[in-house]
């Protein structure tokens, strides 16, 4: 590639009917200045492209890291959700089991109370029957005592 220095140092051979040397030199100076500006601008643009490429690489790295982070976060969220669901299910099952046990204990208590009630009722009936029987015998004994007593109205 031609550099501005190449343009500045370029010398042409002189010919018989050549161009005017001053005009060629002036034109070459203009070309050199324009080419030098373009050359510097090209270098600056290449540097800028390299810098932007580096930034793009960094951003791609950041993007990849963010994607991985999002995947891990999503995976973790799903795992937490599943664990919470399992834990809630276990709590519900445990609560249902405890409730069944409490109901079963309450039913057993009701049955035991009913048995006790029946026992007390039977004992009461037995007591009532015996008491009636005893009272009957006592009345009979009292009647017999009064029958054996001499009647005061007969005197």
Distance CA 146, CA 142 (A): 6
CA 23 to chain CA centroid, nearest Å: 82
CB atoms within 10 A of CB 32: 19
What is the model's pLDDT at position 115? 95
The CA angle 17-18-19, to the nearest 5 degrees, is 130
How does pLDDT run along the chain (155 residues), one tens digit per residue?
A: 777 777 778 777 777 777 777 878 888 888 888 888 988 999 999 999 999 999 999 999 999 999 999 999 999 999 999 999 999 999 999 999 999 999 999 999 999 999 999 999 999 999 999 999 999 999 999 988 888 877 666 55
Q: Scan for tokens 């800028």, then name that residue.
A: 48
Gap between the Cα atoms of 74 and 22, Å rounded: 75
Alpha-carbon gap, residue 1 to 143, rounded angstroms: 155
Whether pTM > 0.75 for this model: the answer is: no
């Amino acid at each position: 590639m031609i550099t501005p220095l190449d343009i500045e140092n370029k010398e042409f051979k002189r010919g018989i009917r050549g161009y005017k040397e001053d005009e060629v030199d002036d034109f070459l100076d203009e070309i050199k200045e324009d080419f030098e500006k373009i050359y510097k601008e090209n270098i600056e643009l290449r540097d800028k492209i390299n810098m932007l490429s580096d930034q793009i690489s960094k951003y791609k790295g950041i993007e990849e890291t963010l994607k991985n982070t999002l995947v891990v976060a999503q995976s973790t969220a799903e795992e937490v959700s599943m664990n919470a669901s399992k834990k809630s299910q276990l709590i519900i099952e445990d609560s249902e089991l405890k409730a069944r046990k409490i109901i079963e204990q309450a039913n057993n208590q009701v049955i035991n109370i009913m048995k006790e009630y029946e026992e007390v009722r039977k004992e009461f009936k037995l007591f009532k029957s015996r008491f009636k029987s005893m009272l009957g015998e006592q009345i009979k004994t009292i009647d017999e005592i009064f029958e054996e007593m001499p009647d005061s109205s007969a005197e």
